[in-house]
A and B are shown apart, each in its own frame.
Chain A
Amino acid sequence: MERNIPNNVNFSVLTPEQIQKIHRASVTVLSEFGVKMDSARMREELQAAGAQICEGDIVKVPEQLINKCLETVPKGVSLYSRDGEEIIKVGAENNIYFGAIIDVVNVLDHHTNKVRKMYREDVKNFAVLEDYLDSISYTTPAGMFNGVDPRIASQIAFLDTCRYFTKAQSIVTAECAGFEDCLHAAQDFVGGKDKLAEKPFIMYYAEPISPFMHVDESVKRIIVCAENGIPITYMPYSMMGGTAPVTPVGALIQNNADVLMGLVMSQVIKPGASFIYGSMPTVFDMKTTVGSYAAPEFHMCVAASADLADYYGVPFYGSHCLSDAKTIDAQSVAEFEMTMMSTMMSKANLVHDGPFLDHANNITLVGLLLFDEMFYQTKAYVNGVDTSDEMIDQMLQTIKNVGPGGHYLEERSTLKNFKKIWYPKRFKRLMQNPDESDLMDRLIAEVDHILETHVPKPPTPEQEEVLASYEAEFMSRYQ
């Protein structure tokens, strides 16, 4: 089977030798230095599986156990739409899918290009627009919007996403308890725990605290997911020079060791549990102390991490359309493009986050349309060059037909192939461009039009009843 987005540009950051070196170093960290493990249950499980516990809560994992877990971890992951259709299938073809965000604390108002607080009605707008765009396969309700008690905001964001977004969800919650609320609602939504495990339309996310702190809260998430058949992404966010060594290789060794620790935990709890490799080794900006979302070294290291995940045969959670700028401006669009290009060329499979502005402090509807444009643009780039014998023969014949000084406009091969070339939907290539750009006006109008006209397929009345009853219960908790 061909990859869903053919990638023929042979891009890797790391050579096989470099991958081996980083892998060996990560194994040294885990087996000789150890990591901090808060969870007593996990320490017991790991010890029973062959790990060594020292100084109370430090766990050292022998290479043998790492290798054993790498054998049982699934080499792919499937996710389903809200209505049970397999829409994400990562396996031997190394398919790639893009996700988006439903809510954060602030929203960049698409009419004014100014930041304001995000509210529940914004959640709906993001869900509707993301449902509309074919380039987006899943989204992330995060529960950071305002106006609802933060202890249930993730749950409400999840319920609203079920209402207005028909594809898959990668849930983010502040605490595991919030996820368990969503999990139970999702199980009832599809008709039970087994049905959800068979065709999960949700996945979850956990991260260690860098460096090497596998806190109880994160470990609990791995356990809940393994026991309920829900795929989990384990993704350290570390900052070079702050919470990771300052060099790319140091950060890669550390993050890789922490991800392998997560992988071992998931497989010790349940061999064959679905696991996704995530890694965000970014730059700690020594001028501003910001953990940059758009540093080139960050995205190079994310692509390098995708090479490592590919080496282990585990799906990789990438990042796209990230910026440190607050609004849609020259900086943010340049940073979106770089991150998009890097991830599209890389071996990432599930690409999350974008479009994120102001180092993940705000999101924007207009940014989703820019992402959509860049998605098709970079997809065309990675398609590479078709040098099949059939194509070479066809081209030689065409070149011979036309001869020196001729033109190809009326050649059959032109007519047959010209539509394989990508044409922008929103960017312009006019012979005479207007003196002032009208791109933003057109993007705003397009957002408004989609929000006015696109009606996502609603859940069934029975499913809506499930959502409504959970909503009533969540809302009653903190009144």
Chain B
Amino acid sequence: MDILEMIANDIVEGEMDEVADHVQEALDTGTEPKTVLDDGMLKGMNTVGELFKEGEMFVPEVLMSAKTMEEGMEILKPLLKEGDVTKAGVIVMATVKGDLHDIGKKLVCMMLEGAGFEVHDLGVDVTPEEICEAIKEKSPDIVGMSAMLTTTMLSMQDTASMIRQDDAIKDIKIMIGGAPANPDVATEMGANYSADASSAVDLAVSLVA
């Protein structure tokens, strides 16, 4: 197995203790940092995505792979030139006002990061004003909103209307998710719906394409 395959394998297997050594070894033997990234680590993450979709990998394993990716990036980052890393996109995420449920949104954030998105997680119980402010500040491609309760779905709608009425940010793409959400509700507020974390990543990718 060549060193790039070993790195890809480290990512798939979540070998956090070994990935740094292998990345270093690849660099020491003259492999370009961008090659290590593209043909080693990202190749591994692609495999992770496929295995998860096929039901062969489970959520905790995917997160371990993402952490392993971060470990490798620690070494690689200072050596990469501008343009070597293609960001998949920028996304602002929040659980809306009145809702304290975190796990679903957090999972989506972690999966998006694993897929190469720059994610700004605003946390839980975030007001429409705070969300609009963050959009202006971070200039994301997408804003993602989560709600667990039927009552807080109303906050989601309030936030969406506030975004749509503000000329500076009204064209931003909106994603929603959570137990009470569904495609019809999304359409009503001019947003996009995904049912789970994995399809949220697919949706985000398609929205920035």
Residues in chain A within 8 A of chain B (CB atoms): 405, 407, 409-410, 414-415, 418-419, 431-432
Which one of B101-109, B113-121, B154-162, B201-209 contacts A? B101-109
Residues in B whose Cβ lies below 8 Å from that of A432: 195-196
Q: Is B103 a contact partner of A405 (Cβ separation < 8 A)? A: no
Residues in B whose Cβ lies below 8 Å from that of A407: 102-103, 106
Residues in B whose Cβ lies below 8 Å from that of A419: 58
Q: How far is the CA of A121 from the CA of B102 in the complex (A)?
A: 57
Chain B CB within 10 Å, residue with most, of A409, A414, A418: A409
Return B17 CB to nearest CB of chain A, in Å.
13
Return A309 CB to nearest CB of chain B, in Å.
40
Residue of A nearest to B55 (CB): A423
Q: How far is the CA of A419 from the CA of B61 in the complex (A)?
A: 10
Count of A-B residue pairs with CB < 8 Å? 29
Q: Taking the complex as formed, is B51 at the interface, i.e. its CB lies under 8 A from any CB of chain A?
A: no
**24 A-B pairs (CB sep. < 8 Å):** A405-B100, A405-B102, A407-B102, A407-B103, A409-B59, A409-B63, A409-B103, A409-B106, A409-B107, A409-B110, A410-B60, A410-B64, A410-B67, A410-B110, A414-B60, A415-B14, A415-B60, A415-B64, A418-B58, A418-B60, A431-B195, A431-B196, A432-B195, A432-B196
Residues in A whose Cβ lies below 8 Å from that of B64: 410, 415
Residue of A nearest to B182 (CB): A432
Q: How far is the CA of A7 from the CA of B133 in the complex (A)?
A: 56
Return A434 CB to nearest CB of chain B, in Å.
12
Q: How far is the CA of A409 from the CA of B102 in the complex (A)?
A: 12
Task: Tell me which residues from 9 to 68 in chain B have a Cβ below 8 Å from any Cβ of chain A.
Answer: 14, 58-61, 63-64, 67
Residues in chain B within 8 A of chain A (CB atoms): 14, 58-61, 63-64, 67, 100, 102-103, 106-107, 110, 195-196
Q: How far is the CA of A415 from the CA of B67 in the complex (A)?
A: 13
Q: How far is the CA of A177 from the CA of B103 in the complex (A)?
A: 67
Return B181 CB to nearest CB of chain A, in Å.
11
Q: How far is the CA of A419 from the CA of B59 in the complex (A)?
A: 11
Return A421 CB to nearest CB of chain B, in Å.
10
Return B105 CB to nearest CB of chain A, in Å.
10
Residue of B nearest to A405 (CB): B102
Q: How far is the CA of A249 from the CA of B26 in the complex (A)?
A: 76
Return B36 CB to nearest CB of chain A, in Å.
25
Chain B CB within 10 Å, residue with most, of A410, A418, A419: A410
Return A26 CB to nearest CB of chain B, in Å.
52
Return B163 CB to nearest CB of chain A, in Å.
26
Residue of A nearest to B59 (CB): A409
Residues in B whose Cβ lies below 8 Å from that of A418: 58, 60
Residue of B nearest to A417 (CB): B60
Q: Is A409 a contact partner of B60 (Cβ separation < 8 A)? A: yes
Q: Is A415 a contact partner of B61 (Cβ separation < 8 A)? A: yes
Q: How far is the CA of A409 from the CA of B61 in the complex (A)?
A: 9
Residue of A nearest to B14 (CB): A415
Residues in A whose Cβ lies below 8 Å from that of B110: 409-410
Return A419 CB to nearest CB of chain B, in Å.
7
Return B112 CB to nearest CB of chain A, in Å.
14
Residue of B nearest to A414 (CB): B60
Return A158 CB to nearest CB of chain B, in Å.
40
Residues in A whose Cβ lies below 8 Å from that of B195: 431-432
Q: How far is the CA of A9 from the CA of B67 in the complex (A)?
A: 38
Residues in B whose Cβ lies below 8 Å from that of A410: 60, 63-64, 67, 110
Top-4 shortest CB links A-B: A431-B196, A432-B195, A431-B195, A415-B60
Residues in B whose Cβ lies below 8 Å from that of A409: 59-60, 63, 103, 106-107, 110
Return A329 CB to nearest CB of chain B, in Å.
28
Q: How far is the CA of A407 from the CA of B103 in the complex (A)?
A: 7
Q: How far is the CA of A418 from the CA of B61 in the complex (A)?
A: 10
Residues in A whose Cβ lies below 8 Å from that of B60: 409-410, 414-415, 418
